[in-house]
Amino acid sequence: MQTVSRVKEMQVLAKKMWKQDKTIVLVPTMGFLHPGHLSLMHEGKRRGDMLVISIFVNPTQFGAGEDFEEYPRDMERDQKMAHEAGVDVIFAPPAAEMYPSGYQTYVTVEQVTQGLCGISRPDHFKGVTTVVCKLFTIVTPHVAIFGEKDFQQLVAIRQMVADLNLAIEIVGMPIYREEDGLAMSSRNKYLTPPERKAAVCIIKSLKRAKALFDSGEREGKKISREVKNSIEAEPLSRIDYIKICNANDLKDIDQITQRAVLAVAVNVGKTRLIDNIIFDPSGGSAG
Ligand code: AMP
C-alpha cells in the first residue's frame, strides 16, 4: 500500500492502471476510519483491481462555526486499518494541493441539495460535489463507493454524475451500525458517555417508524409525528429535521406510495448526527 499526497503522482498512478486495463475503485473519506468505512472498502476490493481511498478533510464542505478544526484526524491509525483492508493507495492531499491559491471553480447540484441538510448547512453540498468531482478527475475511477448514511450526499453525487456524463458507476452501501443501532460516524467520538447513551433515541425512533410502516401505515405525517415524539422524549436531543421524501429526487411526499427515505438530523449535545431508513412499498423497508 502506498500513500500519495500529490495530485500529479496520483494521476500518473491512475494512468498506469488504465493502460494496464485495471479497474480502479475509489472510496472517498474524511479519515478517522471506522467499520462503516471498512464495509465500503471490502465492497471496493470485490469490485475492482486497484482500491484507492481518499482521506481528505475537505474545508469547503464545512460552514463557518462548524467542526473543521476539531474533526478527528489520525493518519497513522487510518493507514494501518486501510492496509489491513487491502487498500492499494491512500490519496491524502494537503488542502493547498486541492485548493491552491486563486482556486475559483465549484460544482453545484441545484435541487436535491436544497432541503434536509441543505437548510442548516447551505454551502455543504457545494463543497462535497466540488471535492468529489475533483477526486473523480484525479483518480479517474471506474467505480466509486459511498455510504447510504449520507443519503442526500449520495443522491447529489448520482445527480452530478448523470448531469456531467461522468462514466463512473456509483455504488451505495447500507448503513453500518454499532451494536445498539447507532449509525457509525467519525463524529460519534465527540459524544460524552451520557450523550452516547442518549443518541440511541435516533435508531429507536427509526425502528418505531419501520414498525408503523410494516404494519401498513403510509401517511408520512403520522410516521414523522411518532419519530418526533420518540426523539423528543430524550432530553439531550434536539431535532434539526425529520423528513420523508422520495428516495430518488428527495421531493417531499405525503403518502408513501413509492420508495421513500425517512431522514433525520438530530443534535445530541453539541454533536449533529444524521440517520435514515428506506421505505419500499414494493418490498418492505431497510436501512
Ligand atoms: P466520511 O468519512 O464520514 O465523509 O464518510 C466517507 C464515506 O463513508 C461516505 O460515503 C459515508 O457515507 C460513508 N460512511 C460513513 N459512515 C458510514 C456508516 N456508518 N455506514 C456506511 N457508510 C458510512
Q: In what order do the strands lie in the sheet with 237-246?
A: 237-246, 260-268, 271-280, 284-286
Position 134 pLDDT exceeds 70: yes
CA distance 58 to 69: 11
Task: Give percent above pLDDT 90 in the chain.
Answer: 98
Q: What average pLDDT is seen over the chain?
A: 97
- For ligand 1, which residues put their CB under 6 angstroms from it? 29-30, 36-37, 39-40, 146-147, 149-150, 173, 175-176, 183-186
Position 286 scores a pLDDT of 57
26 CA → ligand 1 middle, Å: 13
Q: Please state, in angstroms and as integers, the Cα–Cα distance from residue 278 to each residue in 85, 147, 197, 216, 248, following that order.
A: 28, 13, 24, 15, 11
pLDDT mean over 177-200: 98
Position 254 pLDDT exceeds 90: yes
Rg (the chain; Cα; Å): 19
265 CA → ligand 1 middle, Å: 15
pLDDT mean over 211-232: 98
Of 54, 148, 150, 179, which is best to mutate to test ligand 1, by the most ligand atoms within 8 angstroms of its C-beta? 150
Give the rounded distance of the alpha carbon of 162 from its chain centre. Answer: 18
User: Which residues are annotated as catalytic?
Assistant: 37
Q: Is the overall model pTM greater than 0.85, yes or no? A: yes
User: Among all chains, which residue has been given the C-alpha cell 417531499?
Assistant: 252
| Predicted confidence (pLDDT) per residue in 228-243, tens digit | 999 999 999 999 999 9
Q: What residue owns the CA closest to ligand 1's atom 13?
A: 147
Of 68, 77, 78, 149, which is best to mutate to test ligand 1, by the most ligand atoms within 8 angstroms of its C-beta? 149
Position 44 pLDDT exceeds 90: yes
> Could you give the residue ranges of the DSSP H alpha helices within 89-199?
95-98, 117-120, 124-139, 151-163, 193-198
